[in-house]
Structure 1
Amino acid sequence: MTLQLSHLASGDMLRKLDSATKYPSIPTYHTIDEHPRGKGRLLEDNPISFTGTAYAYEKVDGSNARIIVLPHSAGWLIGSRDELLAVQGDLLHNPSLRIVEALESLAKELTNPLGYAIMTAYLEVYGDRRTPAWQSYGDGKQVSARLFDVSLVPVRVLDRDLDRIASWRDHGGQEWLNVDDLASYALQHSVSQVPYLFETPGASLPRSIDDALALLQPYATTQAGIAGEPGAAEGIVLSSADRRTKAKLRFKDYNRTLRLRAEAQA
């Protein structure tokens, strides 16, 4: 039997679906020192390793959102990173950060031909004046959305209890469309991806803090502008071809680290 929206009204099914489709946190390329004395600086040793080719995309600074499409396109839901905001057929929805406003038309167009899995598209919704970096992208009146990942969750995962689902997700249980399939999915549904920047052999990625910041510098201006002169970019996200290994490099982390280093040497 195909999972239907009506099935989500029973028991904990909606909470299980919410948990199984949450987007996992992307680690920083260099580890952040969480000790109070570290003041949030990056640690030089052991950046995240990438085998094969590493693909770089702009890290757009907005609100992480998701569109969940049930198997055989039997219905859709829209959520933020932390909660579900709307379900197909709702007369009312949560207006949080204009996420539903930005994604409802797209949700009606996304398809999931699979019978065994729930498909979730993850997008960055950005440009709204209530988000901290809105001035980098436009006038704060217009919002836009960029696709950055698509996951597959087998329906059978929802047979587990909530704790086991959370553990499964936190230990890499979700499947991901690979780089090529993700691009094809975006093209098929006429949705823009986060800006692609470059690709490079994983073995050639910088190891030091200074070299990582040098890697970032050519991409200091956003390529995801909505209106007006584009402003500062937040950074980049690196991904392996299978989308299982990811790491983020943010300008603010590297600039803070170099400032703290200079203060310590003064």
Structure 2
Amino acid sequence: MRAEDLDLDALNSATKYPSILTYHELGPSGGLLENATAFSGDVILTEKVDGTNGRIITLPGGDYFLGSREELFYARGDRVWNRKLGIVEALRPVAERLSATTEGIRVYYLEVYGGNKITVASKQYTGGTALGHRLFDVAEIDAHILQQPLARVASWREGGGQYFHTEDALTEIATDQDIEMAPRLATIAASELPTGIDEMQDFLTHHPPKTLVTLDQDAGGRPEGLVLRATDRSVIAKARYQNYERTRQLRAKQR
């Protein structure tokens, strides 16, 4: 499979990362509602890093593409590339050393953070312009989907057509490819998760109290929040400090 033989619009669509719902449902005013995501069994808590989503798309034979959540920025061998968000700068060295898949398309999803104001939270990770990246998911894509019309590719993706690896498989891939993962904080029983908004905000103050992925000693160190994952990845949700703080503020105004 060669990069030049692919429909790049279809490849871009098929490999986009799906949206993750908030742990508590987001209401129309921007505040959270008292409807918590239902989990069962064990739940893995990982740090949510505040950066920009990057993709490394690998093909059989060694070709690869790099992109953001919405766009493709670079293909292996390009002499000029899109420098937006520092994604190529951060991920090209990783992509160059990845082992090629033997069949199908593999997508590595990484959070690229820090840098020169990638997000308003960049200063929480670096006091300068250091760039970091952490792996948070890996998916396998059947190349046959790229032969479908774009609308069908998008529908396939939104319907859960991408195959994401379980926690155990993800950990094994990260180890084999020597890529650091988003920090794993704890594994708890679903029954231990707080279901109320106030209780979840208190829970966030301890998980983690300080980010584990600072890039230098001058970083602010405030974490963004948590991602909660079932071990088989059948359920995944995010909990951000900002959402809970906004909800508390909105409630205060209504009193």
TM-score normalized by the length of structure 2? 0.95
Mapped to 2, the partners of 1:215 and 1:32 lie a distance apart of 18
Alignment match, 2:33: 43
Distance 1:204 1:112 in 2: 40
CA contact (8 A) 2:25 2:32 kept: yes
Q: Cα deviation per residue 1:191-230 (whole Å; 9 max; x = unaligned)?
A: 1111111111223321110111122111131111000155
Give me the whole-angstrom Cα distance separating, in 2, the residues matched to 1:243 and 1:134. Answer: 28
- Whether the 8 Å CA contact 1:176–1:244 is kept in 2: the answer is no
Q: What is the aligned partner in structure 2 of residue 241 from structure 1?
A: 231
Equivalent in the alignment of 1:118: 105
Unaligned stretches of 5+ residues in structure 1: none
For residue 198 of structure 2, the aligned residue among 194, 207, 210 is 210
SS at 1:199's partner residue? strand
Cα root mean square deviation, aligned: 1.3
Select 1:5's aligned residue among 3, 6, 15: 3
| Aligned counterparts, 1:13-28, within 5 A | 13-28=7-22
Regions of 4+ moved over 4 Å = none
* Equivalent residue letter for 2:114: G
1:102 aligns with 2:90: yes
Structure 2 unmatched ranges of 5 or more: none
Instruction: Answer yes or no: is the 8 Å Cα contact 2:106–2:141 preserved in 1.
Output: yes
Q: Report the Cα distance in structure 1 between the residues aligned to 2:165 and 2:220, rounded to whole angstroms.
A: 30
Separation in structure 1 between the aligned mates of residue 152 and residue 199 of structure 2, nearest angstrom: 40
CA contact (8 A) 2:62 2:99 kept: no
Aligned pairs for 1:75-224 within 5 A: 75-115=63-103, 117-131=104-118, 132-218=120-206, 219-224=208-213
Contact (CA 8 Å) 1:220, 1:235: kept in 2 or not? no
Task: Return the offset for 1:190.
Answer: 1.4
Distance 2:220 2:112 in 1: 16
Q: Which is strand-richer, 1 or 2?
A: 2
Identity %: 39
| TM-score, normalised by the number of residues in structure 1 | 0.91
